[in-house]
Amino acid sequence: EEAISKNFIEQIIEEDLKEGKYEKIVTRFPPEPNGYLHIGHAKSILLNYGLAKEYGGDFHFRFDDTNPTKEKTEYVDSIKEDVEWLGADYDQTIYFASDYFDRMYECAEFLIKKGKAYVCDLTPEEIREYRGTLTEPGKNSPYRDRMPEENLELFRAMKNGEFEDGSKVLRAKIDMTSGNMNMRDPILYRIARMEHHNTGDDWCIYPMYDFAHPLEDAFEGVTHSICTLEFEDHRPLYDWVVKECEFLHPPKQIEFAKLYLTNVVTGKRYIKKLVDDGIVDGWDDPRLVTLSALRRRGYTPESIRRFMELVGVAKSHSSVDYAMLEYCIRDDLKLKKPRVSAVLDPIKLVITNYPEDQVEYMEVKNNQENEEMGTRKVPFCRELYIERDDFKIERPKKYFRLYPGNEVRLMNGYFVTCTDYVADEDGNVTEVHCTYDPASRGGNSPDGRKVKGTIHWVAAPFAKKAEVRLYENIVDEEKGVYNEDGSVNLNPNSLKILKDCYVEPSLEEAAPGDSFQFVRQGYFCLDTKDTSEDHMVFNRIVSMKSSYQP
Ligand code: ATP
Ligand code: MG
Ligand code: MG
């Protein structure tokens, strides 16, 4: 077989290793703890972790917590849970960027002493004005030529809380005429009196992302700092920082395209808004693609890893069909999960020639495609529930299920022939009557006669009541994900709640988080949040039908 071709990042790494640039590679995943992780982050986690594993290197899990405004411990905990769930082994070490505040400060002083950074007193508006535009060069700040001694003294005073918030900044001295706006004397430090979740009120100055990030990588010996494309034009600044701070083994930044999925909402900002507006039931609402939502819905880490392999790594943006993710979970669960019977929209089926007090137990395979999963006993009796949709008074074209006079197979049961039905005064069918052929036990007739329809059922007196939640995409791409005002254009049918479903009695043993194939209906997971002792709630993970072919 032909060798799988390497992606562009693997090619860079292999070249670097061949040239002996690094003895061992170090990658990292650096989330900002300002929200829950989503499927896009999973891509970054699995990519970085996968590369470290592939090349015998190290993978660092680091919280990029240098911006105290939006960061919360709740987010730190959930991110940790998600990274572990995906199986990215970080060797029990979690790095926090805020642990480097002292060293970052030292780097800033180092740059000042070198004449590469200065304290600037311009107001934020003036700084913006002086910066120029894409077509016009910027102007030098009048404070740009302050001597290192003065800058050092002012910077220390900034640190010691002697100036108001926003009254001064530390800037890199690079080039106000650069074609790259990021290189026009970017801000390295700002004054902001904010409580930090890790360092409390130790600091009243905080480093800017573009200064902090390359330093974090360099401090940790990261070799390949893999980020998404929007940072491409920050790379010259990244390189400037690690060069001017004179690291012996500077890391290098490599950009790849973000993962976008059709018909879902990614982007912490948008997800947070849905949560804050109460449109969804928290960050783990099964319609979201946060990792906690996917987990709650019943996605497995294996399915997400498989999905990322299929998607690959690209240098330009594209959107991946959500159906591909569905394909991956279906494929993962197919041979692993029991196939059980659940009736989502029940009507009663009465077998009029079946003895009233009789119960028999059918031996049913747990998974027809995986013998190793064994069998279970399923009760069968005179009164069953079947899907309302499996009976019609008038036969539609090409309909082979129950209608008066027709014979069908009850899956793992008997052949039954519809004899009659009962309807209420509005014409709604309340009961279907049939007779069974005792010789057809197990679903085959001894005379070899065939039936075209097979339907599923549960034994009414033994069935367990359950709530089932069916999901559709939360947005409809064709109508546009976002409205003109920036709000999300929601699909009003994204959640359908069925309260009176019946599941077979074996499901009584199910624990929250367990998943099953409900025959003919798809894969379902017992909800971890809303299931209680006497109330089962199932989330549909995915239907049986696929619109995606690998
Ligand atoms: P969002 O824009 O969705 O809020 P973010 O980029 O602000 O995400 P961070 O916590 O800063 O979130 O990101 C951590 C890492 O995850 C970064 O390296 C970032 O590039 C990566 N990442 C974020 N979104 C995606 C995505 N859609 N596809 C691939 N990687 C992503
Ligand atoms: Mg970010
Ligand atoms: Mg963001």
**Tens digits of per-residue pLDDT, 246-256?**
999 999 999 99
Query: 256, 282, 301: which is the final residue of a domain?
Result: 256
For residues 184 and 169, membership in a common domain is answered with yes
Q: Which of 7, 9, 36, 41 to mutate to test the pocket of ligand 1 (most atoms within 8 A of CB)?
A: 41
Identify any residues that bridge with 254 across adjacent strands, giving them in sequence order.
Answer: 226
74: number of Cβ within 10 Å? 12
Please name the residues in contact with 404: beta carbons below 8 A apart, sequence gap of 6 or more: 393, 418, 419, 420, 421
For residues 245 and 357, membership in a common domain is answered with no
Indicate the residue type of 237: L
Ligand 1 atom nearest the C-alpha of 31 is: 10
- Answer yes or no: is 193 within a domain: yes
For residues 119 and 217, membership in a common domain is answered with yes
Using alpha carbons, select from 456, 472, 210 the residue that is nearest to residue 346.
Answer: 456
Query: 456, 476, 510: which is the final residue of a domain?
Result: 456
Tokens 């800017």, residue?
A: 208
Q: pLDDT of 120-179, one tens digit each? A: 999 999 999 999 999 999 999 999 999 999 999 999 999 999 999 999 999 999 999 999
Whether ligand 1 lies within 6 angstroms of the CB of 232 is answered as no
For residues 171 and 29, membership in a common domain is answered with yes
Q: Is 295 within 8 Å of 85 (Cβ atoms)?
A: yes
- Answer yes or no: is 262 within a domain: no
Residue with CA nearest ligand 1 atom 22: 41
Q: How far is the CA of 83 from the centre of ligand 1 (A)?
A: 14
Whether ligand 1 lies within 6 angstroms of the CB of 44 is answered as yes
For residues 45 and 169, membership in a common domain is answered with yes
Q: Provide the residue range defining the domain that includes 41.
A: 8-256
**369: domain CATH number?**
2.40.240.10
Tokens 């239907």, residue?
A: 543
- Answer yes or no: is 550 within a domain: no
Please name the residues in contact with 355: beta carbons below 8 A apart, sequence gap of 6 or more: 382
Residue with CA nearest ligand 1 atom 13: 31
Query: Relative to the alpha carbon of 64, which ligand is closest?
Result: 1
pLDDT at 2: 44
- Answer yes or no: is 179 within a domain: yes
Whether ligand 1 lies within 6 angstroms of the CB of 31 is answered as yes
Whether ligand 1 lies within 6 angstroms of the CB of 513 is answered as no
For residues 150 and 226, membership in a common domain is answered with yes
Ligand 1 atom nearest the C-alpha of 45 is: 16
For residues 235 and 272, membership in a common domain is answered with no
Whether ligand 1 lies within 6 angstroms of the CB of 228 is answered as yes
User: What tokens were used for 362?
Assistant: 């059918």
Residues flagged as binding site: 32-34, 38-44, 64, 209, 228
Tokens 């029990």, residue?
A: 92
Report, as ranges of residue numbers, the positions in the chain whose pLDDT lies below 70. Answer: 1-4, 71, 550
User: What tokens were used for 391?
Assistant: 């009976």
For residues 376 and 441, membership in a common domain is answered with yes
Query: 410, 425, 456: which is the final residue of a domain?
Result: 456
Instruction: Give the integer Cα–Cα distance in Å for 470 and 464.
Output: 18
421: number of Cβ within 10 Å? 20
User: What tokens were used for 483?
Assistant: 């409205």
Number of domains in the chain: 3
For residues 237 and 97, membership in a common domain is answered with yes
For residues 451 and 498, membership in a common domain is answered with no
DSSP H helices, 24-63, are 39-54
For residues 378 and 291, membership in a common domain is answered with no
Which residues are close to ligand 2, an ion, with C-beta < 5 A? 32
Ligand 1 atom nearest the C-alpha of 269 is: 4
Query: Relative to the alpha carbon of 270, which ligand is closest?
Result: 1
Q: Is 504 within 8 Å of 339 (Cβ atoms)?
A: no
Whether ligand 1 lies within 6 angstroms of the CB of 268 is answered as yes
For residues 224 and 285, membership in a common domain is answered with no
- Answer yes or no: is 77 within a domain: yes
Ligand 1 atom nearest the C-alpha of 228 is: 20
- Answer yes or no: is 261 within a domain: no
Instruction: Give the integer Cα–Cα distance in Å for 11 and 516.
Output: 41
- Answer yes or no: is 57 within a domain: yes
Ligand 1 atom nearest the C-alpha of 268 is: 4
Q: How far is the CA of 91 from the centre of ligand 2 (A)?
A: 24
- Answer yes or no: is 224 within a domain: yes
Residues flagged as binding site for ATP: 32-34, 38-44, 228
Using alpha carbons, select from 97, 55, 62 the residue that is nearest to residue 80.
Answer: 62
**154: domain CATH number?**
3.40.50.620
Residue with CA nearest ligand 1 atom 1: 267
